[in-house]
Amino acid sequence: MTDKNVEAVCEEHRKRAAHGLTKYGVSTERTDFSPREWLQNLQEELMDATVYAERLKQELEPNPALVLEINGALAYVEEARSHVHHTNQRSLVALREANKALYAALKLAGG
């Protein structure tokens, strides 16, 4: 049995190795780097990775403006729902679905 996630990572490694060989003309089997130079390259790559992680964390932070906008839309939906006569079932269902979608968006926005 194979793990599709492991296979996907292996495939990405193969692609990256081929790209590096094409771009730089050498592989990681090169012998012109000292252990200290390999460590320096590793450190620089890891520093880049921490910047990427920080950027993603910032993107996942709550968005106060979006939360306010969604809350306003929720208020409109609630008001409209209160005015829909219960015999107008299609409108009521549509408003309930809009309400659910807005609550889901609110959760995603950090509110």
Compute the distance between CA of residue 18 and CA of residue 27 in angstroms, rounded to an integer. 9
Write down the pTM of the prediction: 0.51
pLDDT of 86: 62
Structure tokens at 42: 């590793």
Question: Which pair of tokens denotes residue 85?
Answer: 């006569």
Distance between CA 106 and CA 103 in Å, rounded? Answer: 5
pLDDT at 38: 92
pLDDT tens by residue, 83-108: 766 667 777 777 777 878 888 887 77
Domain boundaries, the chain: 1-30, 32-61, 64-108
25 token code pair: 């003309």
CA 106 to CA 69: how far, in whole Å? 9
Q: Can you list the residues of the chain whose pLDDT is less than 70?
A: 84-87, 111
The predicted pLDDT at position 98 comes to: 80
* Per-residue pLDDT, 10: 93
Contact 109, 74 (CB under 8 A): no
